[in-house]
Chains A and B, each alone.
Chain A
Amino acid sequence: MTNEEILQLLYDETLVGNAPAVKDGVNEGLEQDLEPEKMLYDALIPSLEEVGARFERGDYFVPEMLIAARAMQGALDILRPLLAEGDTQQVGTFLMGTVKGDVHDIGKNLCNIMLEGAGFTVIDLGVNVPPEKFVQQIEERNPDVVGFSAFLTTTMPMFKANINALEKAGIRDRVIVMVGGAPVTQEYADAVGADGYSADASSAVKKAKELIERKRQQVAA
């Protein structure tokens, strides 16, 4: 297979969630000295972005999105160590968790995969994460961004509770706060005092990069 064919295969097979084929494709690419970055940025990420777009349009359903993400995850497991070796810039550390009282994780996990794909180091605290745990983990790991996920209108108030906990611990300014989840809106994110919101996984990546960049410039200035 030519490099072009391998990239096309990775794109097509990720799109249909064929994890074994994606894994084989990645290995074949590596044997042929295809750059890991190229496979990631020219095939895998665009494919998962297309999956997200189809889901948004209602053309794709949850299982299709999940198996595509799984296929991508399998490729990342192989590529991650190689990307770290290379000169791919470490974009930042993202601490992620579903808020207390909420156990939904499909959207959060998709965000994690997209973030990892984009070069973030992702620390996932899982679901039903209490404010104390976020505080403790931020103090310990010093992430650039913390992401709060909520799927229910009834658990969204935890965003505010979490931010209050960060303020109380005196670490609010140390970290960028992003919020997301099905019922969340920009208006709500603003109201609770979050730094950023995004409606889906791929825009979460863009937003996180943008916020980190802005913060670094502010610090530099």
Chain B
Amino acid sequence: MDTVLRSRSKTVTVGSEQPFCIIGERINPTGRKLFAEQLRGGDLSTVTADAIAQAQAGADVLDINAGIPLVDEPELLMSMIRAAQDAVDLPICIDSSVIEALEAGLSVYEGRALVNSVTAEDERLEEILPLVARHGAAVIGLANDETGIPQTPEERLINARKIVSSAGDHGIAADDVIIDPLAMTVGADTEAVTTTLATISLIRDELGVNMCLGASNVSFGLPQRHVLNAAFLPMAMAAGLTSAIMSTASVCVESVRASDLLLGHDAWGASWIAAHRARQAAEKEAAAAS
């Protein structure tokens, strides 16, 4: 199954036969005090800078979140999306739990967006799916429900199935539903990541839909997070994960692109070799300039 996302002029396809889709996580004020203060004051320069930096680092899509306490989130999200679209030509993942913010974001977005997110809760499905359908967008569905995050892969599969089926009822094809199998920190539960990996395999085998998760969650509360993230991503990809909201630190991006090649999603290593040549050329240029 292929999920097609579009920016102003670029198309990105998420799919099991495609290179992994890297969704840059950075444009999110959660835990970024300075960035939050800037946004509060209407300063969007960091949005622009982060958009460019993540695009250069290899992001295929950018996540944009405007969740700041006591701020007009719909208004802020709209201006952040405009700023990001003016800076880079990449599709955007509109990230909010506030329905009005999603609506506002979708209304200004130019292209085909990914909505982040809906859950298997009846109320959320009924609120968000009509909006996704109306805007012809794709949507991320978190495999949790009213009772919280299920402990077992089987229960998460039930939630995933419910989301896909409910999306169908609203005229959204399974191609346009990306399931989040839920990743949590291994710092709080030794089994957290193995459960996530088992969930990914199960959803791939049973539903075959695209999947996306917040990859950095796995390393929360631990030292050297990028190293853990970079080790996790290839495991998740081998299990069937097709995209992730993740850090674009080079160790993470390189790990993903190497796995694309190893898993047969980069025919004859063309992208891998091209990236190597580009790096060589840049080094040469830098040496000549100095």
Contact = CB atoms under 8 A, between A and B. Distances in A.
Given A63-B222, A182-B31, A101 B69 contact: no
24 contacts: A61-B221, A61-B222, A62-B185, A62-B187, A62-B220, A62-B222, A63-B188, A63-B221, A66-B187, A101-B97, A103-B148, A103-B149, A106-B188, A126-B148, A128-B147, A152-B97, A153-B29, A153-B69, A154-B67, A154-B96, A154-B97, A155-B97, A183-B69, A188-B69
A212 interface: no
A152 B222 contact: no
A127 interface: yes
Contacts of B147: 128
Interface in B93-120: 96-98
Interface residues of A, number: 22
Interface string B242-266: 0000000000000000000000000
A153 B68 contact: yes
Interface string A113-134: 0000000000000111000000
Given A103-B148, A154-B96, A188-B70, 6 more contacts: A62-B185, A62-B221, A128-B146, A153-B67, A153-B68, A191-B70
Contacts of A188: 69-70
A219 to B, nearest CB: 32
Given A62-B185, A101-B97, A183 B31 contact: yes
Contacts of A63: 187-188, 221-222
Interface residues of B, number: 22
Nearest to A130: B146
Interface in A17-45: none
Nearest to B223: A61
B159 interface: no
B38 interface: no
Interface of B: 29-31, 67-70, 96-98, 144, 146-149, 185, 187-188, 220-223
B266 to A, nearest CB: 35
Name the residue among B97, B147, B185 with the largest chain A CB count within 10 angstroms: B97
A62 to B, nearest CB: 3
A177 B270 CA distance: 59
Given A63-B188, A103-B149, A106-B188, A153 B222 contact: no
Contacts of A191: 69-70
B268 to A, nearest CB: 42
Nearest to B144: A103
Contacts of B185: 62
Nearest to A62: B221
Interface in A172-220: 182-183, 185, 188, 191
Contact of A62 (B146, B149, B188): B188
Given A153-B67, A156-B69, A183-B30, A66 B188 contact: yes
